């Protein structure tokens, strides 16, 4: 499907899932093709300029992404991906601060639960969950269900200013360890 022109692959973790971005660059034809999760989303054939940028969107929230093509020497090129105006690394580091992710197996199915700390929105496998939040003595509790299972994300103070608020997921009364985004 991608042929011999595939030059770069990136993984972009968003609230609605991890998206695989692939970039194909034909250095003799100038062709530029972007695939997201194996689906072609952008194609430009016969580009006379071999360097430049291509902008497209990723995920359900249409997050803006840009592939940059730079010549490094002769016919060698360097490819980089910016997401939401930041380098992929900076975007990923920022998301690690603004989201909390858990990957767990429920009823034989892998589930990826993401909490957006700024909005307290909860996502599971790309779907925004219906939640109910309430204040409790030591913080907040956000309730939702996964199938027949009761889930709760608890937010409590760590007691240390440097760590701030700690979030943890409880499934049927059992604490689930967090994952990397």
Q: What is the pLDDT of residues 119-173, one digit of tens each?
A: 999 999 989 999 999 999 888 999 999 989 999 999 988 777 777 788 999 999 9
The angle subtended at Cα 19 by Cα 34 and Cα 2, nearest 5°, is: 35
Confidence of residue 28 (pLDDT cuts 50, 70, 90): confident
Query: How many other C-beta atoms are found inside a 10 Å radius of the C-beta of residue 155?
Result: 20
Cβ contact 37:55 at 8 Å: no
Percent of the chain with pLDDT over 90: 69
Of the CA atoms within 13 Å of residue 78, those in its CB half-sphere come to 5
For residue 180, pLDDT over 70 is answered with no
Answer with the residue of higher pLDDT: 180 or 135: 135
- Domains 3-84 and 99-176 alike in fold: yes
Spatial separation of the C-alpha atoms in residues 170 and 150, rounded to whole Å: 8
Residue ranges of the domains in the chain?
Answer: 3-84, 99-176
Spatial separation of the C-alpha atoms in residues 95 and 91, rounded to whole Å: 6
Q: Is 154 exposed, middle or buried (0-12, 13-18, 19+ CB in 10 A)?
A: middle
Confidence of residue 3 (pLDDT cuts 50, 70, 90): low
Spatial separation of the C-alpha atoms in residues 124 and 128, rounded to whole Å: 7
| pLDDT (average), residues 75-85 | 93
CATH number of 3-84: 2.40.128.180
Q: Where are the alpha helices (DSSP H) in the chain?
A: 88-98
CATH number of 99-176: 2.40.128.180
For residue 2, pLDDT over 80 is answered with no
pTM over 0.85, yes/no: no
Cβ contact 7:25 at 8 Å: yes
């Amino acid at each position: 499907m991608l042929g011999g022109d595939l030059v770069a692959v990136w993984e972009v973790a968003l609230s609605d899932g991890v998206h695989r971005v692939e970039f194909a660059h034909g250095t003799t034809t100038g062709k530029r093709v972007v695939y997201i999760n194996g689906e072609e989303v952008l194609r430009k054939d016969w580009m006379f300029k071999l360097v430049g940028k291509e902008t497209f969107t990723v995920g359900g929230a249409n997050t803006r992404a840009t592939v940059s093509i730079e010549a490094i020497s002769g016919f060698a090129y360097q490819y980089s991906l910016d997401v939401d105006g930041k380098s992929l690394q900076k975007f990923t580091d920022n998301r690690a601060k603004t989201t909390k992710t858990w990957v767990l197996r429920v009823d034989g199915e892998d589930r990826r639960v993401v909490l957006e700390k700024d909005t307290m929105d909860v996502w599971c496998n790309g779907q925004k969950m219906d939640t109910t939040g309430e204040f409790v003595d030591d913080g907040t509790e956000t309730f939702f269900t996964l199938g027949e299972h009761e889930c709760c994300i608890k937010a409590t103070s760590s007691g240390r200013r440097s760590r701030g608020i700690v979030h943890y997921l409880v499934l049927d009364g059992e604490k689930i360890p967090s994952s990397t985004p």
